[in-house]
Amino acid sequence: MKAGGVGVNGWQWTLLVHFGLAALAVWPAIRLLGRAGLPRGWVVWLALPVLGWPIFTSLLAFKPWPTLPPRPEKLHPRERLRRARDAAAAQKGK
């Protein structure tokens, strides 16, 4: 680049790429924080160059998440029918 010309230097490219990636990560990070039951304002850490990403991921990793109820067991329809028949047969046998 010419001396005195208008352009983007190396460190400016680095910041531009950083803020571009941070902008792309904002929406998934907000959703992740919402599911984890954590404050959504923590997404601001992503804007901090160099240390923001490690701080954000450390907050997610070491903060206790809420305990969710267990998911119901997913059964194949045939297995569900077999279990229903077995339960009905057990009721008849009593």
Q: Domain span at residue 24? A: 1-66
* 42 in any annotated domain: yes
pLDDT digits (tens, 9 = 90+) for 10-65: 788 888 888 888 888 889 989 988 888 888 888 888 888 888 889 988 988 898 88
What interhelical angle do 10-36 and 52-62 show, nearest 10?
20
Number of domains composing the chain = 1
> Which residues are within 8 A (CB) of 29 and not within 5 positions of it... i.e. 6 or more apart?
43, 46, 56
Overall pTM > 0.85? no
Would 74 be classed as within a structural domain? no
